[in-house]
Amino acid sequence: MKTISILGSTGSIGTQTLDVVLRSEGKFQVAGITGNKNIKLLEGQTRMFAPKFVAVADENLYNDLKLAVSDTNTKVLCGIDGLCEVAAYSKNDIVVSSTVGISGLKPTLAAISAGHDIALANKETLVTAGNLVTDLIKEKGVKLLPVDSEHSAIFQCLECGHKPSKLILTASGGPFFGKTKKDLEKVTLKDALKHPNWSMGQKITIDSATMMNKGLEIIEAKWLFDMELDDIEVVVHRESIIHSMIKLSDGSILAQMGEPDMKLPISVALYYPEREIIKNTDFDFLKHPNLSFYNPDEETFSCLKLAKQALKTGGTMPCFLNGANEAAVALFLDEKIKFTDIPELISNAMKKHTPIVNYTLDDVVKTDLSAREIVLDLIGG
């Protein structure tokens, strides 16, 4: 039996992780769960999984959560320190990092420092502090198991044991594939929240619509698989059946395929190095007779270009890009800016950042705050 803690248990990945735990029939024991605002769900999860810890990131909700679970044996924690305590709990075998945004960074570092393996959904952890995270992973000798479907696909392909000459990330293209810059001027929040293939949290859904998600995933792939930008390609594949591919030196392409369902990459990470045994999951090729592939349109979806530029610049620039993107997406979700303002704001903000090459955690925190402030300044907020 593996003991797991889930950072962000109330989210899309977190709840699907708990589904995997439920259907495992006792292969996993949940030691800790965390959320930010949704204390009703945290209460329900506490009753169902009887974890040792439940933590709420928003400190204002601590007393309400404590009262709600006062009849249980679960210890209630709060704030970033509470999340770090859950992450570092000595009995954890694996910590699922699935909060959204840079909020995942410190708790994930705490889990690695404590020597726990990580199932990583929170790509922002690697985007903002790739160097620090991978150095600590090496120092502590823990495993970093990708949950992001593309990276899980590559991880599975790499089990062939050969060094890839290229990584090929597939992208659905999001809800606005094929649209022009002019079309994008008119899209609404509701349009942007309608992803064709995946049901996910709001922030990543908007990132998929702008294609920033694929940009962040290139940066994530660089750190996970130690590959250079020029060796990471993106191909738009509308059906999201091929989750990503690797190319070997002899030209052979290995792909991982399946229906779009995050429970598969979550299971691959949780059960690693074993595989989950599920009945009745035959893939029906006849339901997918046509798989299509296109070049990404980086002019219209310029977030992809900005992310590549940030990775090329290096240092704290990817962290700055991420902070600016989080701020711009939050403004778009609040309907304070237009969809097309997102890349515009990020690009203008990036011009104001002088990257620090050999950064510390303190530099990362400061860079993130400065990106957010600059975006707010740019809109006159």
Interface positions with ligand NDP (CB under 6 A): 8, 10-14, 35-38, 57, 98-100, 103, 121-124, 148, 198, 200-204, 262
Contact 345, 375 (CB under 8 A): yes
Which of 357, 369 has the CB closer to ligand NDP?
A: 369
Q: Of these partners, Mg ion, ligand NDP, none, which one is at the site of residue 10 (CB under 5 to 8 Å by kind)?
A: ligand NDP
Query: How far apart, in whole angstroms, are the C-alpha atoms of residue 7 and residue 55?
Result: 9
# residues contacting Mg ion (CB under 5 A): 3
Which of 185, 261 has the CB closer to ligand NDP?
A: 261
- Of 342, 375, 345, residue with least CA distance to 176: 342
| DSSP E strands, 53-126 | 53-56, 75-78, 94-97, 117-120
Return the residue matching tokens 């290229």. Answer: 166
Q: Of these partners, Mg ion, ligand NDP, none, which one is at the site of residue 164 (CB under 5 to 8 Å by kind)?
A: none
Which of 189, 356 has the CB closer to ligand NDP?
A: 189
Rounded (5°) CA angle 53-129-343? 110
Q: Of these partners, ligand NDP, Mg ion, none, which one is at the site of residue 38 (CB under 5 to 8 Å by kind)?
A: ligand NDP
Q: Is 43 in the site for Mg ion (CB under 5 A)?
A: no
**For residue 368, what are the contacts with CB-CB under 8 A and spacing of at least 6?**
102, 128, 319, 320, 322, 323
Residue 217 Cβ, how far from Mg ion at the closest point, in Å?
Answer: 6
Q: Of these partners, ligand NDP, Mg ion, none, which one is at the site of residue 204 (CB under 5 to 8 Å by kind)?
A: ligand NDP
Task: Please compute, for residue 227, the number of CA atoms within 13 A of its CA located in the half-sphere on the CB side.
Answer: 26
Q: Which amino acid is at 352?
A: K
39-49 and 12-23 are packed helices; what angle lies between their axes, rounded to 10 degrees?
Answer: 10
Q: Which residue is nearest to Mg ion (CB)?
A: 148
Cα–chain center distance at 41: 21
Q: What are the distances in angstroms from CA 244 to CA 154, 155, 241, 251?
A: 6, 10, 9, 16
Q: Which residue is nearest to ligand NDP (CB)?
A: 11
Which of 80, 248 has the CB closer to ligand NDP?
A: 80
List binders of Mg ion among 127-166 (CB under 5 A): 148-150
Q: Of these partners, Mg ion, ligand NDP, none, which one is at the site of residue 198 (CB under 5 to 8 Å by kind)?
A: ligand NDP
Contact 332, 326 (CB under 8 A): no
Q: Of these partners, Mg ion, ligand NDP, none, which one is at the site of residue 172 (CB under 5 to 8 Å by kind)?
A: none
Which of 148, 341 has the CB closer to Mg ion?
A: 148
Which of 124, 150 has the CB closer to Mg ion?
A: 150
Calculated CA dihedral for residues 118, 123, 127, 132, nearest 10 degrees? -10
Q: Is 220 in the site for Mg ion (CB under 5 A)?
A: no
Residue 291 Cβ, how far from Mg ion at the closest point, in Å?
Answer: 18
Which of 109, 147 has the CB closer to Mg ion?
A: 147
Residue 210 Cβ, how far from Mg ion at the closest point, in Å?
Answer: 14
Binding site for Mg ion (CB under 5 A): 148-150
